[in-house]
Amino acid sequence: MTTLIQTRTKEPTATRVEIELLLCCARTCISPETAERIKTLLQQDIDWNYLIDTATSNAVMPLLYQNLKTIYPEAVPQHILAQLRVYAHANTLQNIFLTQELLKLLALLEGHNIRAIPFKGPVLAASAYGNLALRQFTDLDILVHKQDFLKAKELLIADGYSMLYDREHEEKYLQAQLWKSDCQVNVDLHYGIPPRELHINTEEFWQRLQLSSLQDTTILTLSPEDHFLLLCINGYKRNWQQLSDICNIAAMICSYPKMDWPRLLEQAERWRIKRILHIPLLMARDVLEVPLPEEIWSTAKTDLVSKWLANQLSKNCLLKNDSLIADASLELSYLWTRAVYNLLISEYKNNGIFYWLTPNSEDQEFLKIPSSMSWLYYFLRPIRLIKKYGFAPVKYIFQRLLLRQ
């Protein structure tokens, strides 16, 4: 039986009462202590516009509404509760529509002998959140075998979808992004999992598929462990800038208490993505007070780099929408964390150095250069990185070091 390590009692990372209230509500598992904290916070002077804006930008509005109406609705102004109800209702209708479209596409692919695995989107909402209405998602993700990719793409195009990017883009990101304009649906059809440099072996996923139910339809889905790793990789790509990404991790931990953590750790070790696994787990613990399994905590607590990055990324996630970010030191700290994160996250030897020296897809999108002159990207990259990060992060860290003298 998995033993959970309780989170430590600590002062909130953010000082605004609205942020603390949002963090208490952005959960699928609400403890009695958290429920009481929500009631206490609701008795304070709440800036409801700020709270709603922050919840919207972090894609956690459904959770905010669900827990406010369940725990202490009488403390919420009626017009605010009505506004949240309208948003939640619209989100529910959208999610049901996207789920029906997903089931239609899976049936289309199955009818042509193409095995497909849906992930994130409706599958995550149903399995981890326990309710399609509690999660915000705007697109559908489907994984197929590489040998079926072109045929699957042709079937979607025949069904009314159109390609958003060319084949060169597909090869970079291991997926086709397709759009159906008449019903405003975006589908990411994968034959691999980006980013390419991680070399994720998706063939392993097919060996551990499970049967699941989605709107009374039986479908094949990823094992909880494989789905969890994909969520960690997705947050890594997005630099953990949105609270909803941490909520996904927390929801999975709460919904799958018997997850095979030793196998998950072994897989992360084999794929050299331990830090990509450790960081979101530590963030879920620090930001949403999720108790971690003992097997995870015993290894994560010794990874000092991951602990530092998780702490800094948590602050960035909470403060990026706050007026406090206008403070120059916080802005510089944010830039510095992003730079160090990209340098330290990889476990491949010298890969952090390669990040700074080797051109990638962002450089190619920044400036289009003919393939015959692609060597120019090696000169463009340092210029683009200075433009992106500036000298501010280096200046900031030296200022902090001098102040400690």
- pLDDT greater than 60 at residue 5: no
CB-CB contact of 345 with 275 (8 Å): yes
Q: Is residue 222 part of a domain?
A: yes
Q: Is residue 88 part of a domain?
A: yes
User: 């959208």: which residue's tokens?
Assistant: 94
Strand partners for 139: 186
What residue numbers bound the domain in which 235 lies?
Answer: 4-326
Report the distance separating Cα 103 and Cα 132, nearest Å.
14
Strands 185-190 and 292-293, sheet pairing:
unpaired
Strand partners for 217: 214
Q: Given this model, what pLDDT does residue 220 score?
A: 94
Indicate the range of 6-15, 360-369, 383-392 predicted with least confidence: 6-15
φ, ψ of residue 215 to 5 degrees: the values are 50, 50
Q: Is residue 299 part of a domain?
A: yes
Strand partners for 162: 179
Q: Is residue 114 part of a domain?
A: yes
Report the distance separating Cα 390 and Cα 106, nearest Å.
46
Instruction: Name, of 110-114, 258-262, 301-305, the range with top average pLDDT.
Output: 110-114
DSSP of 228-239: HHHHHHHHHHTT
CA dihedral for 17, 18, 23, 24, sign (positive or negative): positive
Which of residues 105 and 294 earns the better pLDDT score?
105
Q: Is 137 left (phi over 0), alpha (psi -120 to 50) or beta?
A: beta
CA angle 206, 207, 213 (to 5 degrees): 65
Q: Is residue 64 part of a domain?
A: yes
CB-CB contact of 4 with 298 (8 Å): no
Could you tell me the CA-to-CA distances from 151 to 113, 261, 336, 373 in Å, in that order?
Answer: 10, 36, 44, 34
Q: Given this model, what pLDDT does residue 282 score?
A: 93
Q: Given this model, what pLDDT does residue 373 score?
A: 73
Q: Is residue 247 part of a domain?
A: yes
Strand partners for 116: 144
User: pLDDT tens for residues 9-37?
Assistant: 444 444 589 999 999 999 999 999 999 99
Cα dihedral 246→249→253→254 (10° resolution)? 60
Residues composing the chain: 405
User: pLDDT tens for residues 242-259?
Assistant: 899 999 999 999 999 999
Cα dihedral 173→166→162→136 (10° resolution)? 30
- How many domains is the chain partitioned into structurally? 1
Which of residues 211 and 309 earns the better pLDDT score?
211
Strand partners for 144: 116
Report the distance separating Cα 116 and Cα 107, nearest Å.
10
Q: Given this model, what pLDDT does residue 288 score?
A: 94
Q: Is residue 337 part of a domain?
A: no
CATH number at residue 139: 3.30.460.40
- pLDDT greater than 90 at residue 196: no
CB-CB contact of 41 with 21 (8 Å): yes
Report the distance separating Cα 52 and Cα 227, nearest Å.
30
Q: Is residue 217 part of a domain?
A: yes
